[in-house]
Structure 1
Amino acid sequence: MSDTAKAVTGPASYFPSIEKKYGRPIAAWQEVLRSHPGYASAKHGELVAFLKTEHALGHGHANALVAHTLREDRG
Structure 2
Amino acid sequence: MDQAAQTMMDNLQKNTGKSLDEWVSIVKKENFSKHGEILKFLKSDHGFTHGFANLVAHKTLKSDAGSASGSDELISKQYKGKEHLLPLFEKLKVEIKTFGNDIEFAPKNAYVSVRRKKQFAMLIPATKNRFDIGINLKGQEPTGMLELDTKSSGMVSHRIVVNPEEQYSKEVINWLKKAYDAAG
User: Given the two structures, how large is their TM-score scaled by the length of structure 2?
Assistant: 0.31
1:7-32 deviation line (CA, Å, top 9, x unaligned): 4355x541011110111111110111
Query: Which letter does structure 1 place at the counterpart of 2:36?
Result: G
Q: Does 1:70 align with 2:64?
A: no
Query: Which letter does structure 1 place at the counterpart of 2:57?
Result: V
Unpaired segments ≥5 residues, structure 2:
69-184
Aligned length: 65
Residue 71 to residue 13, structure 1, CA distance change in 2 (3 Å): farther
Query: Which letter does structure 1 place at the counterpart of 2:12?
Result: I
CA distance in 2, matches of 1:35, 1:29: 10
CA distance in 2, matches of 1:56, 1:43: 19
Aligned partner of 1:48 in structure 2 is: 39
Q: Does 1:27 align with 2:21?
A: yes
Structure with greater strand share of residues: 2
CA distance in 1, matches of 2:4, 2:59: 11
CA distance in 1, matches of 2:28, 2:59: 12
Unpaired segments ≥5 residues, structure 1:
1-5
SS across alignment from 1:24? coil
Let me know the Cα RMSD of the aligned residues: 2.4
Aligned partner of 1:8 in structure 2 is: 3
Higher RCO (CA-CA < 8 Å; seq separation 6+): 1
Structure with greater helix share of residues: 1
Larger radius of gyration, structure 1 or 2?
Answer: 2
SS across alignment from 2:21? helix
Aligned partner of 1:3 in structure 2 is: none
Identity %: 27
- Pairwise CA distance, 1:68: 1.6
1:31-64 deviation line (CA, Å, top 9, x unaligned): 111011x32xx21011111011111111110001
SS across alignment from 1:57? coil
